[in-house]
Amino acid sequence: MIPAVLPTYNRAPLNFVKGEGCWMIEADGRRFLDLGAGIAVNVLGHANPKLVAALTDQAETLWHVSNLYQIPQQEALAAKLVDASFADTVFFTNSGTESCELAVKMARKYWYEKGETEKTQIIAFEGAFHGRSSAGIAAAGSEKMTKGFGPLLPGFTQLPWGDVDALSAAIDETTAAVILEPVQGEGGIRPMDDADLRAIRTLCDEAGILLILDEVQCGVGRTGKLFAHEWAGITPDIMMVAKGIGGGFPLGAVLATENAASGMTAGTHGSTYGGNPLACAVGNAVMDEVATPEFLEDVNRRAGLLRQKLEGLVAANPDVFEGVRGAGLMLGLKCKVNCMDVVNAGYESLVVTVPAADNVVRLLPPLNISDDEITEAVARIDAAAQSLTAKA
């Protein structure tokens, strides 16, 4: 018999009933160190007092009105995002997938309004993840995500990750935009080289096409800058955000330049919930905390500590791990054993990590993880790795 919950996930037998900062408490009382943060979502940890206050204050005042009316919390959050980024304008969604949908629509509408209706094609990269909607899976293109779901949304091609020459050759008069994650998340924590990202920006500029960055996972302080593309010193035309921006409340956004957004006039897009007062109250509280130089400086310092300890972990467990990669607090342990075995052994050692493609274990802790928690987390992963070596 089919379970009451559609079985599209292989769920771990863990039932977390409470969260406190970087800790999650299982129904049986065990305390797990959380290096997954709900897949890069809980950027300020669990039950953060400022976020709880923002949410409960708003919950007592007004939950939802509709985008048919003014929403001051939404305007305030949009202003913060515009101030802190390349963007001139923001549309709020409820998820990364919805941000992908709008980013694709926006890019195509841009060219339509310019009368260049042949420019509809979007070039993506292998290993990408842009969500599970028809546009998202078509953009990613992998058999794992698309098989059985045809006919796929047309207009997407995929190139080898970071292959600037292939991109240069692929851009033609039908190309509308290029879409990529500055650091691939699901694809196995694969950062794009700064030089390659700059080269891609240059190619887009030369061809006059739009660059869409998917910062759903790598954005909102995760890499130690508010947005990951800042490391390369470039800006996109359109950017997808979600995950961290809501700190655990469902919230996403599409940021764009005035030029890139010029086709999206009244009536061309909408969302019932997107940017509602409840979500934006939390989003504002997240931005107030994360988008400060002091906070981001701390993320970089913590990231340095975690990375250094992980290098030691890899050196101490050469049969389990091949190396560390990633940026900031978005780190991956490339495994020699099956990465899922490491994740499962981590559960035994009371540490939560997340598997990714390319046999990588992802570490995406809350951005305010303490030094002691970093030390403890790596000790627990070490215990997990040793338990695997002992079994072998």
Ligand X SMILES: *Cc1c(COP(=O)(O)O)cnc(C)c1O
Residues that bind ligand X (CB under 6 A): 95-97, 100, 129-131, 181, 185-186, 214, 216-217, 242-243
Q: Which is nearer to ligand X, 23 or 129 (CB)?
A: 129
Q: Which is nearer to ligand X, 214 or 341 (CB)?
A: 214
Query: In the complex, what is the shortest distance from the CB of residue 98 to ligand X, in angstroms, rounded to a whole number?
Result: 7
What are the C-alpha distances in Å from 111 to residues 98, 103, 267, 281? Answer: 21, 13, 18, 34
Q: Which is nearer to ligand X, 290 or 384 (CB)?
A: 290
**Alpha helices (runs of H) in 114-193, residue ranges in sequence order:** 134-140, 143-146, 164-170
Chain position carrying tokens 């515009």: 82
97 labelled binding-site residue = yes
Chain position carrying tokens 């039932």: 15
What Rg do the C-alpha atoms of the chain give, in angstroms? 21
Query: In the complex, what is the shortest distance from the CB of residue 331 to ligand X, in angstroms, rounded to a whole number?
Result: 15
Closest by CA to 280, choosing from 103, 102, 67, is 67
Rounded Cα gap, residues 267 and 378, in angstroms: 51
Query: In the complex, what is the shortest distance from the CB of residue 131 to ligand X, in angstroms, rounded to a whole number?
Result: 4
272 labelled binding-site residue = yes
Query: In the complex, what is the shortest distance from the CB of residue 5 to ligand X, in angstroms, rounded to a whole number?
Result: 17
Q: Which is nearer to ligand X, 95 or 359 (CB)?
A: 95
Q: Which is nearer to ligand X, 217 or 317 (CB)?
A: 217
Closest by CA to 92, choosing from 227, 253, 250, 261, is 253
210-214 and 175-180 beta bridge pairing: parallel
Query: In the complex, what is the shortest distance from the CB of residue 181 to ligand X, in angstroms, rounded to a whole number?
Result: 5
271 labelled binding-site residue = yes
Query: In the complex, what is the shortest distance from the CB of residue 136 to ligand X, in angstroms, rounded to a whole number?
Result: 7
Beta-carbon-side half-sphere exposure of residue 252 (alpha carbons within 13 Å) = 25
Q: Which is nearer to ligand X, 181 or 341 (CB)?
A: 181
| Beta-strand runs (E) in 21-128 | 23-26, 31-34, 89-93, 121-125
Residue with CB nearest ligand X? 96
337 labelled binding-site residue = no
**Residue ranges at the known binding site:** 96-97, 129, 132, 214-217, 271-272
**Residue ranges at the known binding site for pyridoxal 5'-phosphate:** 96-97, 129, 214-217, 272
**Residue ranges at the known binding site for N(2)-acetyl-L-ornithine:** 132, 271
